[in-house]
Structure 1
Amino acid sequence: MISTPISMRAHAIVAIGIVTAMLSIWWLAPLTVRNAFVARLGIIRGQLWLNEGQALTQKPGASETEMQSPFRIAVTLGPANSEAWFALALATERNDWIDGRATAALKMSYYTGFNVTALVAPRLELLVRTDLVRDPELRDILTRQLRVILTRAPDLKPAITAAYASATEINRRFIESELADLDQAFLDTFRSNH
């Protein structure tokens, strides 16, 4: 007789444990699923804000603040989106000499997607319009980008030519010195065309 109540207690404890575990799973599973869903939704929303910002850049009469706002939201929602960081850098380029926001956004674009092929040429053109003399980090980024183009992506060499055309005089000299170290033959061809 004594074994029956102990057996009933054991069964009750096991039943309570099972119910508690099931309730925990029932309450926690939606949070995990919800977090994943919200994260995916944030990335999608970030891309939508990026698209909105790009549409605003085509709109005549849009103010700088109007154009920058969607890109700021896009990088907040998708901080690993190098295209969004690049778009923010372009939108803030005009006042970079005042606050350095374009330079910071350009760096983030490189950090989040250095080898994104579609961004190599336009980012390189923006990079050579920045103040490379004041910012050794940007000089390092330029050196690495040139090295990658010359060693691993020679089909992107026209991007170097286009960037050189839009570079400041000081930055042109920097590009020439880097090309002399990396690929003298390309530099010779490059100089004969300019």
Structure 2
Amino acid sequence: MSIVWKFRSFTLIIAIIVGVTALADLAAQFRRPAPVLSLTVVSDAQSDDRVASAKLSSMLMPFRSDLKSEYALALASQVLNSEQAVPPDAAQDAVKSSLKIGPHDSLMWLVLALLQTRNNAAASRATKSLKMSYLTGQNRADLIPARLGSVTSRNALTDMDLVDLARGDVRAILTQLPDQRPALAADYARASEAGRQFLRETTNLVDPKYLDALTTNK
């Protein structure tokens, strides 16, 4: 085969690959449900149809981290909002798969920590995932309530690095995010005894005047 025909064959193969990829991407977009909005995943369970659509989209374009994340979040929402013992393994696997191609996603690290906590995984695993959520998105204000709630409601305050990171969340709420003070009070109400002590001590250091409102959930 001459060089010209080799070049033409190579060009044709590339064109076919590009065309198939474009069609797959178009199909994935067509089947893609509306994205899950951040941490609504911890308060609203997604329907089976939505999960199925998100799964199909992620399968059509397996290298798109946004589609993998949307499927993982939809699946995780069913686990985190079920009163029954829904096996979290599939959701954890989906989150981990998303993190393999998008390890910078602090929301996904937080969701992984929440799933690991629900599955009664070793505390060190959930703690590691929480720390990764901080390290990849410490300034994400939308994650603060759920992240701080996870830290203070379980035995995570034995890790001093995590304590320092969580203290930064409390400081951010009290000095920069006044609209999140009700969420801080709600976290206090749900916290373990150690978590409540941590929140009281940190609040007393940053804004002593808010301490009464915190403990009375005003």
**Alignment pair present for 1:153 and 2:201:** no
Which whole-Å CA distance do the structure 1 matches of 2:65 and 2:78 have between them? 20
Contact 1:128 1:167 in 2 (8 A): yes
**3-state SS of the aligned residue for 1:100?**
helix
TM-score (norm 1): 0.70
Partner of residue 145, structure 2: 121
List aligned pairs for 1:1-194, cutoff 5 A: 41-54=63-76, 56-57=78-79, 62-95=86-119, 98=122, 100-193=124-217
**3-state SS of the aligned residue for 1:139?**
helix
Report the RMSD for the aligned CA atoms in angstroms.
3.1
Contact 2:188 2:215 in 1 (8 A): no
What displacement does 1:45 show? 3.7
Task: For 2:202, give the aligned amino acid.
Answer: E
Which ranges of structure 2 fall in alignment gaps of 5 or more residues?
A: 1-13, 19-61
TM-score (norm 2): 0.63
Deviation per CA, 1:86-107, whole angstroms, max 9, x where unpaired? 1111110135562521111111
Rate the CA distance shift 1:192–1:50 in 2: closer, same or farther, 3 A: closer
Which whole-Å CA distance do the structure 1 matches of 2:204 and 2:100 have between them? 40
Task: For 1:80, give the aligned amino acid.
Answer: H
Pick the structure with greater CA Rg. 1
Which ranges of structure 1 fall in alignment gaps of 5 or more residues?
A: 1-29, 35-39
Task: For 2:111, give the aligned amino acid.
Answer: A
What displacement does 1:82 show? 1.1
Give the share of equivalent positions with the same residue, in percent. 29
